[in-house]
A and B are shown apart, each in its own frame.
Chain A
């Protein structure tokens, strides 16, 4: 069965510092991986995805993610955090047998001024 894991419930970082939100995956075959962000009382906003090719994927709002096949990871990163980045972040993998997304449990990012 395919799955993703987000080992940290919460990540705290000071504004201006780099941030990393971790995600590991378990799939058979080639993984299609996604990151979404959720602000309070809002739906999920797409940030970026890895399908194939370059292991460093660039996305919206200055976010990027690094695909590492040997470590089965897809960590979300940003060089300089903003207070407005504070939100709930979800990693997801596309089920290979269907088109549905399988989500992690989410990581709450708190950026302090």
Chain B
């Protein structure tokens, strides 16, 4: 079956530009997560949705980062006025329901390079 998909796979932005990263979770998955993976590091949590509700955004590094999931399916992570330190791989994951035992399935990621 179809897994989590993300687009674009690669994005080059000039410093100061706005970018939008898209995530299509596995169909029917209730929970959706965004993580940021810097070069040579493990993924770090950004934000979490249960259906359309954003339940935790404690990992968003600044108010330039904004995420939404208006219909409880596709999600968009937006970064305004990009900075060089935003360069990273942005990973999206989904899980069937909200439970600590559920497996999160990851997409291929979007590699963002800010010049």
A interface with B by C-beta (< 8 Å): 32, 34, 36, 41-46, 49, 51, 90, 92, 94, 96, 98-106
Q: How far is the CA of A94 from the CA of B99 in the complex (A)?
A: 10
Total A-B residue pairs with C-beta atoms closer than 8 Å?
Answer: 65
Cβ–Cβ contact A90 & B42, under 8 A: yes
Partner pick for A46 among B100, B103, B107, CB 8 A cutoff: B103
Closest partner residue, chain B, to A42 (CB atom): B108
Contact with A along B31-74 (1 / 0, CB 8 A): 10101000011111100100000011001000000000000000
In the complex, how many angstroms separate the beta carbon of B32 from the nearest chain A beta carbon?
10
Closest partner residue, chain B, to A34 (CB atom): B103
In the complex, how many angstroms separate the beta carbon of B100 from the nearest chain A beta carbon?
5
If A32-B100, A44-B91, A51-B101 touch, whether A90 touches B31 (CB-CB below 8 Å) is no
Partner pick for B100 among A41, A96, A102, A105, CB 8 A cutoff: A96
B interface with A by C-beta (< 8 Å): 4, 6, 31, 33, 35, 40-45, 48, 55-56, 59, 91, 93, 95, 98-109, 111
9 additional A-B residue pairs with CB within 8 Å, beyond A99-B33, A106-B40: A41-B111, A43-B107, A45-B106, A46-B103, A99-B98, A99-B102, A101-B33, A101-B35, A106-B41
Closest partner residue, chain A, to B5 (CB atom): A43
Q: How far is the CA of A19 from the CA of B27 in the complex (A)?
A: 36
Q: How far is the CA of A3 from the CA of B106 in the complex (A)?
A: 20
Could you name 17 residue pairs across A and B whose Cβ atoms are closer than 8 Å?
A32-B100, A34-B103, A43-B6, A43-B107, A43-B108, A44-B93, A49-B101, A90-B42, A98-B48, A99-B33, A99-B48, A99-B95, A99-B100, A100-B45, A100-B59, A103-B42, A106-B41
If A90-B42, A102-B45, A103-B44 touch, whether A43 touches B4 (CB-CB below 8 Å) is yes
Cβ–Cβ contact A101 & B43, under 8 A: yes
Residue with the greatest number of chain B CB neighbours at <10 A, chosen from A96, A99, A105: A99
